[in-house]
Amino acid sequence: MRIKELAEATGVDVDTIRYYEKQGLLPEPARQDNGYRDYASTHLERLAFIRHCRALEMPLADIRRLLGALDAPGEPHPDVDRLVQEQIDKVRARLKSMRALEKQLLLLKASCGRCDDESTDCGILKELVAAAHGEACACHAHLAH
């Protein structure tokens, strides 16, 4: 199949496929007489694997290691479990950070008061301007303690 067909079959952009080839994540495809790349089902499988790993937000370096393990089926692969655990740890850290961000935004929103057409005094804007001037703001007040 041609690169466009591979892209359509996997949902991966053509430029991304070329990038993965340059990075050595996808093997070079055979070439037709006219110079077009000729992808096989193995490319489709491998690209689907990479796409799934990317959907799990794994970095390309980790995907490269996973592909190495995949390419050596008879060997032990202690790295695989560790890589997935590290990814879980990263996700948990991001979740913690996102919960903190949500808390800050809720505190900021609580400073709103009443914003309607008659009021030009917006609590949220006041807080954001105060923070921009280096002053304490509602959304970061809990960090001062």
What burial class does residue 69 get, using C-beta atoms within 10 Å of its C-beta: 0-12 exposed, 13-18 middle, 19+ buried?
middle
Q: pLDDT at position 50, please?
A: 97
**Dist. CA 110–CA 120, nearest whole Å:** 17
Domains defined for the chain, CATH in brackets: 3-75 (1.10.1660.10)
CA atoms within 13 A on the CB side of 128: 10
Q: pLDDT at position 116, please?
A: 60
pLDDT at 119 over 80: no
pTM attached to this predicted model = 0.75
Which amino acid, 38? D
Q: pLDDT at position 145, please?
A: 45
Query: Quick one: which of 16, 6, 67, 69 has its CA closest to 39?
Result: 6
Q: pLDDT at position 99, please?
A: 96
pLDDT at 109 over 50: yes
Question: Which band of pLDDT confidence, cut at 50, 70 and 90, is reported for residue 114?
Answer: low
What is the average pLDDT score of the chain? 88
pLDDT at 13 over 70: yes
Locus of tokens 């590290």: 86
| Average pLDDT of the segment spanning 21-49 | 94
pLDDT in tens, 19-33: 999 999 999 999 999
pLDDT in tens, 62-97: 999 999 999 998 898 889 999 999 999 999 999 999
